[in-house]
Amino acid sequence: MISINCKEKSYTEFVTEDYFPVIVSVNDYVDNISYCEYGCDSKSLLEFTVNRTNKAFYRMKLILCKKYEKRAEMMTLPDSYIEGTITMDVPDKNSTDTLFTIIYSDGVEIRLSDKKAVQYYKNGNLYIGIDSNEDLCIVKVSNLSESETEHVLNELNYQEKD
């Protein structure tokens, strides 16, 4: 289950690191962590790092994604969302039929399902969308600079060569 603690808010940061197209981290260091993976066709992998004790989101990392596209327009953000610290109490390994990344001029969208998000949770520049079954279906990272979106595209292009 994915939920939010509205009493706590964290600052998130987009991190550029070689070989990883997308990394979003919160400002708090977490020592006791566990990993939640979303994989598709053994060719794409999205990983969340959470605090093992309270399940608070610590880091999201797009490790591998073979299906992606670049769009010139700006990313559309949800009009309605709940803001706070995202918590994730989901299985360690999750399979998904879709893992598709769209790079916009100002952000990145990662689709894990064809289902529509009925609720969004926001933590800093990270939006997590859940569907009517309360499953993760979309992730959006907003307010990225041109150099950050270029980093995402370059790393995805690099992966394609392998």
The set of residues, in sequence order, having a beta carbon less than 8 Å from that of 112 and lying 6+ positions away, is 38, 40, 46, 96, 98, 99, 136, 137, 138, 139
Q: Average per-residue pLDDT in the chain?
A: 90
Contact 80, 2 (CB under 8 A): no
List pLDDT tens digits, range 22-45. 999 986 666 788 999 999 988 899
Average pLDDT over residues 127-154: 96
pLDDT tens, position by position, 90-113: 888 999 989 999 999 999 999 999
Tell if the pTM clears 0.85, that is, is over it.
yes
CB 97 within 8 A of CB 111: no
- Tell me, what's the pLDDT at 129? 96
Q: How far apart are CA 161 and CA 50, in angstroms?
A: 31
Q: What pLDDT is stored for residue 43 in this prediction? A: 87
pLDDT at 7: 66
CA triple 20-24-27, angle to 5 deg: 135
Over residues 136-151, the mean pLDDT reads 96
| The predicted structure's pLDDT at residue 3 | 74
Find the range with the poorest average confidence among 20-24, 48-52, 63-67: 48-52
